[in-house]
């Protein structure tokens, strides 16, 4: 599917995966709604797409704070651009747990607030509008992380996203709206660390697959970006 002219809302667009998705969508001639914790954090991303003839708007919010999530949603909805595609990309990972039995409750609360509750709020706010218009693509960035109890809050939050995405997909059959998860692979980002398997640029073109998909057969599924990388 040609994405030219589609409006794409990307959370966590200041660096890493979100930045790569923003660059790729800009090259597809999409209009962009870019989120970061602070607008100044988006300056690098903006400099990388400034040659594209597209409309770009920026937003700031701390997704761990549900009041700020609601404000973000209100600002995006009032900006004059109907959202066609959402990348729920922003996520946090709390520090490695040396003793897996003593992870602070606060780590769980912050992780689930940012990685799950904010995603749910955004989906609940925009998917009904997409259904009403008969078109929408929602991509919830997940993870292939497994067998890492030292990172339990993060891995459990991504499992929750997988389940939430699959469950809501059944409500979207025949609506023109698709919701899927994206496993970007283990990437060399601030979150993934320098020892990761892949450069961050390898998330493209795989990250665009669920946005470009036209068939309803790809709904409630996990798309693994590394399966689409140039060999």
Would you please indicate which residues are annotated as catalytic (active-site) residues? 142-143, 154, 158
* Cβ density class 181-207: b for 16+ within 10 Å, e for less: bbbbbbbbbebbeeeeebebebbbebb
H/E element holding 144?
Answer: none
Number of H helices, E strands in the chain: 7, 7
* CA 231/CA 229 separation, integer angstroms: 6
Q: Is 182 left (phi over 0), alpha (psi -120 to 50) or beta?
A: beta
* Number of residues written out for the chain: 231
Alpha-carbon separation of residue 231 from 197, 199, 226, 228 (angstroms): 14, 13, 10, 9
Beta strands at 177-183 and 85-88: parallel, antiparallel or unpaired: unpaired
Which 8-state DSSP code applies to residue 217? T
The answer to whether the CB of 142 falls within 8 A of the CB of 182 is yes
State which H helix or E strand residue 61 sits in: none
């Amino acid at each position: 599917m040609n994405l030219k002219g589609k409006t794409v809302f990307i959370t966590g667009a200041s660096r890493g995966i979100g930045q790569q998705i923003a660059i790729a969508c800009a090259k597809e001639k999409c209009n962009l709604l870019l989120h970061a914790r602070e607008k100044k954090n988006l300056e690098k991303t903006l400099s990388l797409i400034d040659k594209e003839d597209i409309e770009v708007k920026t937003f700031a919010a701390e997704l761990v704070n549900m009041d700020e999530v609601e404000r973000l949603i209100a600002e995006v909805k009032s900006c004059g651009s109907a959202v066609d595609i959402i990348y729920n990309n922003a996520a946090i990972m709390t520090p490695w747990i040396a003793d897996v039995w003593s992870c602070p409750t606060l780590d769980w609360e912050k992780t689930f607030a940012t990685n799950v509750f904010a995603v749910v709020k955004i989906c609940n706010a925009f998917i009904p509008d997409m259904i009403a218009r008969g078109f929408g693509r929602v991509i919830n960035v997940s993870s292939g992380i497994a067998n890492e109890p030292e990172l339990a809050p993060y891995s459990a939050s991504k499992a929750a996203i997988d389940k939430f995405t699959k469950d809501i997909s059944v409500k979207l059959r025949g609506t023109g709206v698709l919701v899927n998860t994206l496993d970007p692979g283990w990437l060399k980002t601030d979150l993934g660390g320098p020892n990761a398997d892949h450069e961050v640029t390898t998330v493209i073109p795989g990250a665009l697959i669920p946005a470009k998909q036209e068939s309803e057969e790809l709904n409630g599924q996990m798309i693994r970006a590394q399966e689409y990388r140039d060999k």
